[in-house]
Every structure is written in structure tokens, then in C-alpha cells.
Amino acid sequence: MSTPTGEQFCRFLAAFIEVHHMCDAQHKGVLAYDTIVHGSKKLKKALTFRYEHFHLSEHWKARADGIFDGFLDEGMITRQKKRSREPAGIIVMRRVIQALYQEAILEGTRGWNTTLNDIASIVLLTALGVRAGDIMGDTKDTRPDLPGLRYADIQIHVTGDGLLKARFCIRSAKGHN
């Protein structure tokens, strides 16, 4: 395999932005400038790791910046931040949880109860589509009227099929009325 050149690197970035704009922009919106710059840095690091002689000269770095600026002017990428309250997908959460398990197994853990508690918290936050501050109150304050998820806020029952169903009362969700 031959080492990629700066020209190939820049052509790949341009093609990636153009294909995304043609295929996905109508459904997902345009790419964020910060996202594509971050992605190009990660790609550069990966190519440097994979190919011993890969190096981007100042000319090709400037050329990549010019490509980004050109697409920014054309409206194919944007500097606006996309903010949405969409919950993280199950595939992302599965990867996070697998990484926590693998780290605990390979690197050790303070205790499995801590690791499992961390994983359960992530699963609960994902399932409810909330942020940590929405359900986790101050541990030192025991007043029942304070924000946070309490045992009284959870109703769990078993269905006729033997499945567990739960209903959660989120009293302090931020950004919701």
C-alpha cells in the first residue's frame, strides 16, 4: 500500500462533504464546521499512525483550510452549533458500556459495585432521555421536596407476560415545562 498524499487527503475531505450534502443534508442538516475540522484532525492522526511516511506539508494544511472555508461560503457546512435533545442511541450506549466493562476487566476497578452502579446510571439516563441533573439531587440533603429521583418517584410492576414495566416521575427536568 502506498502512503496517501496531501492531495488525496484534501480530495477525500472535499468528496466527503459533497456526498454528505447531496445525500444526507436534507434529512440531517449540513455538517458543522467544528465537526468536520475535528474529523479531519482525527483522520490525519490515523493516517500518521498507519503510514510511517505520511506527512501533511503546510501547503496541504492550508489547502484543507481553504476547502473548509469554500464549503462554508457555499453553505455546505455551517459554524452554527446544532443543539437537540435527542437521546443517545442504543448503539452508542452499548459501546460506552462495553468500554466501561473492558476497562474494569483490563485495568481493574475500585469495586464492581461502583462499576455496575455507573453503568446502571448511564442506562437509566439514556432510557429516560434526561440529563444527570434532572434525576440526581444532592446526596447530603434528604428533604423529599428537592430535585432528584427518589424511590417514591418510581413505580415498577410485572406484566402478565412476566416483563418488568416502570413509570418514572421526573420532577425537575431542565428545559421542559
Residue among 96, 95, 169 at smallest CA distance from 134:
169
Type of residue at 111: G
- What size, in residues, is the chain? 177
Q: Kindly list the distances between the CA atom of residue 82 and the CA atoms of 45, 47, 95, 128, 175, in Å, as whole numbers in the listed order.
A: 26, 28, 23, 21, 16
Q: Where are the domains of the chain?
A: 6-78, 90-168
> For 117-163, how does the pLDDT look when each residue is reduced to its tens digit (9 = 90+)?
788 777 777 777 666 666 665 566 666 566 666 667 777 778 888 77
Q: Is 165 helix (H, G, I), strand (E, B) or coil?
A: strand
d(CA 172, CA 146): 9
Global pTM reads 0.47
